[in-house]
Structure 1
Amino acid sequence: MTVLRSEATIPPTERLPGRFRGFMAGFPSGVAIITATDRQGKQWGMTCSAMCSASVEPPTLIIGVRAASPTLRALLDSGSFAVNLLHERARETAELFASGDPDRFDLVAWEHESGYGGAHLYEAAHSVADCRVSQSVLVGPQRMVFGEPFRISTLTEARPLLYGMRRYGRWSAAG
């Protein structure tokens, strides 16, 4: 086995955040769009790859959201949000919601009914979990939000969209 070493094995403190970003890029994840509805009924949403399961009992997930995000403000004010897990053909939607385009909800198909945690992106998502906020914790410029799903909808059997190494990908058919 060959072990590769670089001069940056133990980087100076000022370089550590950049190295950490590169380290985490090597850990691919699924892609989700987090949506929330503010008190005036306006839809907010953002692309998120910082999501994980925290507990099966009670069912709890964690999402990472930039502390200054208007989507975060809407989901904390309303106490709920939706996690739209994107399928492999939804790259354009992921990029749109990552762009911050103020008209993003005018450019995608979505629905929001009473009792939803946020908008359901029914053409881009393979599954949606509506969640109640149970707690949140500030970590640097991010807020980790704990959500307890109260409804899970499977929309299609499509494979998930993946993100890693700073690019989008899809699940291999072989495997």
Structure 2
Amino acid sequence: MHSWGVLTETISPDLFRATLSRWVSGVTVVTTTDAQGQSHGFTASAFSSVSLDPALVLVCLDNRANCFEAFDNSEGFVVHLLRRGQEELAGRFASKGADKFAGTQPEWSPSGLPLLPGALARLECRTERRIPGGDHLILLGEVHHAEEGEGEPLVYYRRGFHGLDGGAQSLT
């Protein structure tokens, strides 16, 4: 049996970020509306399924994000799994201060949430719980509707967008 002892050292944010850049993740854009009906969204690579019964997913949102308040108070959100070719959309939703919905023609879910066209898949969720997680807010959502499409997923690896064939696409 191995004993870890007491772990007292902390890792630097730069080393942590560099190490995690070696993790391949799918790219999602998460959308919601605020109490005034204005659309908000962000790009999230921190997304995961949690449970099949009930169907639960989680996404993580930076506490400093401009859209934080909208998501912290929303009753629901939509996770869009992006496909290859949507790098510009992912970059725009990752930018601070950008008009995130510029040039898009969102559709609307029956519950009034913005749906971005062209996603590989979409999951419409009711916000089940909000969990503080360091400098992020973890949103746990119960999936009430899902749509799937065809195509190749967009993935993020070593600070760049890629397809499954490994071809890199720059954010700039």
1:49-128 equivalences in 2 (<5 Å): 49-116=45-112, 118-123=113-118, 125-128=119-122
- For this pair of structures, how many residues does the alignment match? 159
Task: Find the aligned partners of 2:14 and 2:33 in 1 and give their Cα distance.
Answer: 34
CA RMSD of the aligned region, Å?
A: 1.9
Deviation at 1:100, TM superposition (A): 2.5
Deviation at 1:57, TM superposition (A): 1.5
Deviation at 1:59, TM superposition (A): 1.1
Task: Find the aligned partners of 2:114 and 2:120 in 1 and give their Cα distance.
Answer: 14
The TM-score with structure 2 as length reference comes to: 0.84
* 1:54-81 Cα deviation digits (max 9, x unpaired): 1112111111101233433223322100
- Structure number with higher helix proportion: 1
Where do 5+ consecutive residues of structure 2 fail to align?
1-7, 167-172
Where do 5+ consecutive residues of structure 1 fail to align?
1-11
> 2:145 matched to which residue of 1?
151
Q: Tell whether the 8 Å contact from 2:66 to 2:96 is kept in structure 1 after alignment.
A: no
* 1:85-121 Cα deviation digits (max 9, x unpaired): 10011001001111124422122231123315x3111
Which one of the candidate residues 94, 104, 129 is aligned to 1:135? Answer: 129
**Of 132-141 and 83-92, the range deviating more from structure 2:** 132-141
Which one of the candidate residues 151, 171, 174 is aligned to 2:164? Answer: 171
Q: Tell whether the 8 Å contact from 1:36 to 1:71 is kept in structure 2 after alignment.
A: no
**Of 19-28 and 84-93, the range deviating more from structure 2:** 19-28
Task: Find the aligned partners of 1:16 and 1:101 in 2 and give their Cα distance.
Answer: 28
